[in-house]
Amino acid sequence: MRSINPSSGEIILEYPEHTRTEVQQIIRDVHSAWKTWKDTPFEHRAVVMKKAAQVLRTRKEHFARMMTREMGKLLKESMAEVEKCAWVCDFYAEHAPEMLKDEVIATDASRSFIAFQPMGVILAVMPWNFPFWQVFRFAAPALMAGNAAVLKHASNVCGCALAIEEIFVEAGFPANLFRTLLIPSQDVQAVIENPLIAAVTLTGSEAAGSAVASAAGKNLKKTVLELGGADPFIILDDADLEAAVKTAVTARMLNQGQSCIAAKRFIVMDSVVPTFEREMKRAFEALRIGDPFESDTQVGPLARPDLVDEIERQVNASIDAGARLVTGGRRSDRMGCYFEPTILAEVSKGMPVYSQETFGPVVSIITVHSEEEAIQVANDSDFGLGGCIWTRDLKRGEAIARKVATGAMFVNGMTKSDPRLPFGGIKKSGYGRELASYGIKEFVNIKTIWIG
């Protein structure tokens, strides 16, 4: 396993894989640590979780530079990601005890209540695009709930994976409560089959989610899946176009467009399409492509060469099918995994950029002629993760938000994750929820206790 800098192609470091024997021993060690941790009072869990937040903030630049070096994220975005991880640690340290306190229910018993008890060792299979955040948004609630965890991270961010393990140790968690497994994807099934693994959470592709869910199902183990998205960004005829365009650029270009909740399908009413297209073109052509470590860079590399190949294939196939290229559309001349910020207009059903998830800096403009058509196009997707609507009429926006089939809809704002709000999707975007009280309760035994 190796980490490769996507902006230069240089090998950062090579990591020896854990053998299957080593993996089994790690899982035994984690399970042993869990048997003590599950009975640890919330007060102590909160102290060390707060310390994890402190470690993240104290060494923020170090961790941020590691992310940028391994997967190409702009350094300023990496810094923000570390800070967000500290936030989620603080959030659950402060709120987990209240979220998981016994819930008293009046019945025919002298006393009856619901207890929320930890499940055990949770396997987390995580992606490379937000190498710290994806892990912490699972780990903070899971550990505060009294669980333990093993992490199978993406193979191109091994440095981040090991650093996260070290953060929890430095914060004062038991040494084996959270461990990283350096294994290839084909070894995940054997981990799921291990009887000491209680449940699995995965963030990743449809194919990965299907494989993990299948293996977990055969072993009767719960899963939470956060998969792909083709999020709609709906612009109605009464939208504040200046605000919509400004947000649209960020919503599409954050992390070079490599985000499951990035805006991907821009569903725009016909009366405002010309203005939206013109302003997006102006904004995209002004973006500066460069070294992700430089402060004035606005577009960095994609994380791997194969991702450039895939986004190029989707763009070219869509143009061949009739989409109109507004700007971009090519690999950058720079060394590394760069692709130009691209806008395609006159996108219609049947084109890859209409129906597939585009994991890169590509805007697809779909023209609609009515509010009803906008809703129909938004729902014409196998995915259902997030989306947003732009209108000056907030009641109109809320009514449409209720009709779009996704796990989240934002009115006059960019779709984003927030520890205070549940996060997850429907359809092929997965199932289950992360964050908020709903996320921490995914991996607990919701146990009825009835006392006669």
DSSP-derived 3-state class of residue 38: coil
CB atoms within 10 A of CB 90: 20
Is 3:157 a contact under the CB 8 Å cutoff? yes
Point out which residues pair with 263 in neighbouring strands.
Answer: 231
* Token output for 187: 């070894």
Residues 6+ apart with CB under 8 A from 376: none
Active site residues: 226, 260
CB atoms within 10 A of CB 426: 13
Residues 6+ apart with CB under 8 A from 210: none
Matching residue, tokens 């060690």:
29
Rounded Cα distance between 226 and 429, Å, is 6
* Token output for 328: 């971009």
Is 334:326 a contact under the CB 8 Å cutoff? no
Rounded Cα distance between 301 and 305, Å, is 9
